[in-house]
Each structure stands twice: as C-alpha cells, then as structure tokens.
Amino acid sequence: MATAFSLPAPGLHAFDLAAANKTLPPSPTDAAKAKAKTAAQNFEAVFLNSMFEQMYTGVDGDGPFGGNGATGVWRSFLTDEYAKTIAKAGGIGIATQVYKTLIAAQEAHR
C-alpha cells in the first residue's frame, strides 16, 4: 500500500498520507457520540428538574394526595418525568450546547 502520491501539476510536491493521518486527531466514535448525547440530555433533565421543583416551593395544596407527606414524593416523581420528557424531546437548548462542548473536549484531548 502506497503512503505517498505525486500530483502531476508542476510546482506541487508529494504528499505523505501516513504523516497526515498521524497529525489529525481521530474523531469520536459513534458510541462516544451516543454516550455524549445521553450525558448531555441527562444534564439538561437534571437542570430542568431543579427548575420545576422551584415551581412547587411553598405550595401546600389539596393535590391528589390531600397535601400530606406523599404529596412531596409524588411531585418529585412528576417533576422528574417532566424534565426527562422535555429534555428527550429537544429541551431548551442546554443539551445541544453541552453535547457540542463534550465532543470538542474529546477531539481536543485526542
């Protein structure tokens, strides 16, 4: 297998493919990209969950469980599912930026 080729145009020199491949950092694999996307969505879901929990701060209500101790547990599950669903559906843009940052960090590290 040849590692160099010559261009027929005058004034151009041979290009060493092996040396060029060594200088370029390998791009992240599909598995790494999928893992980064999942991590970015999870990060956005945690952020959204925190924001949604703030909606219920100081709210005592007659909710589905009559305002007793179970209301807090029910609300935490509800806000968690809201956050996961919104993040998975595209979210508010945090996951996209986190994903781009993760991929850039992986490319810079290699």
pLDDT digits (tens, 9 = 90+) for 11-23: 545 555 555 555 5
In a domain, 71, yes or no: yes
In a domain, 102, yes or no: yes
* Tokens of residue 85, six digits: 């669903």
Pick from 54-58, 60-64, 87-91 the range whose average pLDDT is largest. 87-91
Give the range of the structural domain holding residue 84, as residue numbers without chain letter. Answer: 28-109
In tens, the pLDDT along 24-51 reads: 555 678 888 899 999 999 999 999 999 9
pLDDT score for 71: 73
- With 80 as the cut, is the pLDDT of residue 62 above it? no
Give backbone dihedrals phi and psi of 51, rounded to 5 degrees, phi first: -70, -40
What sign for the dihedral angle of Cα 56, 53, 84, 107?
Answer: positive
Per the prediction, the chain carries an average pLDDT of: 76
In a domain, 20, yes or no: no
In a domain, 11, yes or no: no
Give backbone dihedrals phi and psi of 105, rounded to 5 degrees, phi first: -65, -40
